[in-house]
Amino acid sequence: MLAILLFSGLSSSAFAFVAIKSVHGILYFRYDGRFYFIETSNMSREPAPSARFRWPVRVYYEDTDALGVVYYANYLKFMERARTEWLRALGFEQDRLRDELGIGFIVRHLEIEFLQPARFNDQLVILSSLIGPSRASFDFAQTILQGRDEAVCCNAEVKVACVDRLRLRPARIPRAILTAIDSEIVHGL
């Protein structure tokens, strides 16, 4: 079912029409460049389930510190790889975006909570969930899960900015990427 929803009260005189798609009892919609979904009992800024991307990683000896656990900065590297692979799964290579469109992506803001350490030879899964794009940035929720029971190692919220590669100033996210994201939200990867 595809419907149009009228929002009022967003600003003193604003009315906004938003396309909505209902899938399995969850309403997906886009407003002001961000994606949201509504379950029957609440409204959330959580990512739409179809927007979750999973990337497997094995912990190598080089990833660990003197205590035999993953060095904290390496969790950020794992998350970076997952975001890169998410973009690749959408059909976009970062080197081509840089060379052909003159843009790149940089982390602008990061909040991370470490809950449980990963160790040498653990198999991890990095979940990258798009919370929503704006004109010049993506907001991600990322979680690193450990082992078969998928215990949570850490959670992060990451804002990634699109920038002009020469000036390192904000740039609009190309329409082709936003279109691919819209398709991912509605149809899944």
The residues pairing with 34 across neighbouring beta strands, listed in sequence order, are 31
Q: Which of 57, 26, 55 is nearest to 43 (CA)?
A: 26
Cα–Cα distance for residue pair 55/49, rounded to 1 Å: 15
Is the torsion defined by CA of 182, 178, 45, 76 positive or negative? positive
Catalytic residue among 65, 99, 139, 164: 65
Q: Is 65 a catalytic residue?
A: yes
The phi and psi torsions of 161 (rounded to 5 degrees) equal: -95, 140
Cα–Cα distance for residue pair 2/186, rounded to 1 Å: 11
CB 79 within 8 A of CB 127: no
CB 141 within 8 A of CB 156: yes
- Catalytically annotated residues: 65
